């Protein structure tokens, strides 16, 4: 067997385990580097970088608990689930006139900049931050111009305001979908990677 063939066999065999030998990034499937202690969202235990995708229809919202990397549906009519320190999630994807990434508090999100190609490029310095609750990713049109938020870097406070995370948008779209049910035929989706900022 040639050396190249042996390496190919080794690579195929090593990818049969729970964690592929490559690191998670936007070009790879979201299940690369799965931490089996966290359900739903994919995290790479070696880098502590998590990947999440939140979807939303008009009237239904998906949220994310950052600390536990757990995605879950939430009721938009119940503000206790989505706002304030008693909220069950830190971030939600919403649809209005825009595709919106929303935090639990009025001072949850700080846009650090755009054009980031890697999460490590995003500074963790909060000096000069203009905090808000919502990050508007794009105006909902059909067809959606596609991925208007990719590369945006944000600092995100959790629902208690005690923890800080760095987040980079990797994908956003407003696409035809049967997932919404009823007469709704489009869903908004936003994907991102994030990591906790060490205190």
Q: What is the pLDDT of residue 185?
A: 65
Average pLDDT of the residues in 7-34 = 33
> What is the total count of domains within the chain?
1
**The model's pTM:** 0.74
pLDDT band at 119 (very low <50, low <70, confident <90, very high): very high
The verdict on residue 1 lying in a domain is: no
Average pLDDT of the residues in 103-108 = 92
The verdict on residue 9 lying in a domain is: no
The verdict on residue 10 lying in a domain is: no
**Could you give the CA distance from residue 154 to residue 119 in angstroms, rounded to a whole number?**
10
**Could you give the CA distance from residue 151 to residue 136 in angstroms, rounded to a whole number?**
14
Please provide the average confidence, as pLDDT, over all residues in the chain. 75
The verdict on residue 87 lying in a domain is: yes
The verdict on residue 111 lying in a domain is: yes
The verdict on residue 174 lying in a domain is: yes
Look up residue 15 and give its DSSP letter.
Answer: T
The verdict on residue 181 lying in a domain is: yes
The verdict on residue 67 lying in a domain is: yes
Nearest by Cα to 151 from 185, 176, 115, 123: 115
pLDDT band at 56 (very low <50, low <70, confident <90, very high): confident
Concatenate the DSSP letters of all residues of 134-193 into one string.
EEEEEE--SS----SSTT-EEEEE-TTS--EEEEEEEEEEEEE-STT-TT--EEEEEEEE
Domain that holds residue 61: 20-196
């Amino acid at each position: 067997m040639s050396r190249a063939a042996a390496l190919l066999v080794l690579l195929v065999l090593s990818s049969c385990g729970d964690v592929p030998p490559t690191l998670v990034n936007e070009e790879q499937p979201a299940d690369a580097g799965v931490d089996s202690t966290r359900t739903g969202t994919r995290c790479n235990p070696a880098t502590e970088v998590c990947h999440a995708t939140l979807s939303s229809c008009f009237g239904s919202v998906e949220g994310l608990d950052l600390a536990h990397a757990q995605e879950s549906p939430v009721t938009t009519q119940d503000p206790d689930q989505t706002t304030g320190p008693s909220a069950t999630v830190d971030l939600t994807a919403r649809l209005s006139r825009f595709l919106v990434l929303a935090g639990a508090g009025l001072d949850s999100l700080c846009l650090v900049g755009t054009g980031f190609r890697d999460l490590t490029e995003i500074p963790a310095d909060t000096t000069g931050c203009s905090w808000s609750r919502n990050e508007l990713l794009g105006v909902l049109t059909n067809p959606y111009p596609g991925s208007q938020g990719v590369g945006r870097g944000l600092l995100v406070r959790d629902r208690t305001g005690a923890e800080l995370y760095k987040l980079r948008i990797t994908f956003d779209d407003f696409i035809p979908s049967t997932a919404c049910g009823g007469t709704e035929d489009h869903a908004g989706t936003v994907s991102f990677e994030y990591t906790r900022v060490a205190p």
